[in-house]
Structure 1
């Protein structure tokens, strides 16, 4: 499913683009998958009904973690993403020894319906089960047919160190690799897709093994817009603590996401 030959023959250029990108390391790869197979994969995706666990800082966002059951093409994509061949390519591009979580905890198929949005946030840093796995990368494959900028929903990224921001387009068959760090925010503004069309993506995460924690483990740090309500800002300020408390009492929803 993945166009491995293209990636392997362009590794040097991809590495340079990733490491020098602003506001922080990220990479756009168009034509990431075989177009014909990805079209069949897209055709197999139903309207999702399972509300995302990001509901506190997102709107009208739905997900399916075990998307590989939907079609042979999606199963092939899932297996390609967690393959040693792909891990080797990722490690070269990022100049770090990284690997994709083979169980894809917290990832999956995401579908943003009418007026969907995702506030700017930092994702969890250490894996909920494998506590020494540090999250190095978000891998976001977009499945937005005939996408236009006026549909909105472009991936917004911001560096907390400098407040420099960029917005990346999200057309069909585009993979965006985004560095995960304590300063790498991402999200998207409210969408304006035509009726019956959804902002669709597949999220996968890559890790590096840390022999010791170099950061305090967190769940999600949430950064509402300046014009957000007082209640929303207070909830965001205490969100990480509230989720950690919930996880201690009831277990991690991300850890159960298989």
Structure 2
């Protein structure tokens, strides 16, 4: 389903864009998939009922990790995203030995329903099961047909080092590849989609292998804005510790790929 011919024909230009984009490395690829196939896939997406575990830091965000079971087209895009051919492309544009998590832990089909938002955050850095896999990239394929700027839901990115920010549109059949690191904040503001229309995407993650851990393993770090409640701000500061305690007692939902 992925337009591999386009990626491979233009890989030099795409590599340059990824490495030089600001505020940190990212790449926008429009018409990433065969349009007709992706439209058919979009028509088959059910309304999701499994709410995100991001609690107070996300609103009305629903997920399905094992989306490949929804039908042949979902299985096709799932297999394309974790293919050696795609891994080779990602490695080339990043100048790193990068590979997509073949089991897509923490990723999946995402729906942001009415008034959905996702606070700015840094993602977990090391894989919950493969302890030397370092999260190098987020891969976000957007499925928002007839998206308009007024609907909001732009992907917001911010570099913690410089404070520089950017907002990226999220129209149908756009893939955004975003570098992951200790400074790569991202999220989205409250949406304004029409009734029955949801901010929809497929998320998967790419890793590099570290022989030795280069950072202290962490869960998601949240950065709520200045208008957030005092309770949310305090919770964000202690979130990492609370999740570590929860995981020891009940196990990690991400590790279970729920």
**Scaled by the length of structure 1, what TM-score is found?**
0.99
1:165-188 Cα offsets, whole Å, 9 max, x none, are 000000000000000000000000
Unaligned runs of 5+ in 1: none
1:165-217 Cα offsets, whole Å, 9 max, x none, are 00000000000000000000000000000011000000000000000111110
Q: CA deviation at 1:158?
A: 0.3
Aligned residue in 2 for 1:161: 161
Structure 2 CA distance for aligned equivalents of residues 245 and 158 of structure 1:
29
Unaligned runs of 5+ in 2: none
Q: Secondary structure at the match of 1:206?
A: strand
Aligned residue in 2 for 1:257: 257
Q: CA deviation at 1:55?
A: 2.2
Aligned residue in 2 for 1:126: 126
Aligned residue in 2 for 1:50: 50
Query: How many residues are paired up?
Result: 258
Q: Is the 8 A contact 1:55 1:61 kept in 2?
A: no
Q: Secondary structure at the match of 1:60?
A: strand
Residues 13-92 of structure 1 aligned to structure 2 (within 5 Å) = 13-92=13-92
Q: CA deviation at 1:6?
A: 0.3
Structure 1 CA distance for aligned equivalents of residues 54 and 163 of structure 2:
23
Structure 2 CA distance for aligned equivalents of residues 103 and 172 of structure 1:
25
Q: Secondary structure at the match of 1:56?
A: helix
Residues 227-238 of structure 1 aligned to structure 2 (within 5 Å) = 227-238=227-238
Q: Secondary structure at the match of 1:127?
A: coil
Aligned residue in 2 for 1:145: 145
Q: Secondary structure at the match of 2:112?
A: strand
**Scaled by the length of structure 2, what TM-score is found?**
0.99
Structure 2 CA distance for aligned equivalents of residues 164 and 114 of structure 1:
29
Q: Secondary structure at the match of 2:244?
A: helix
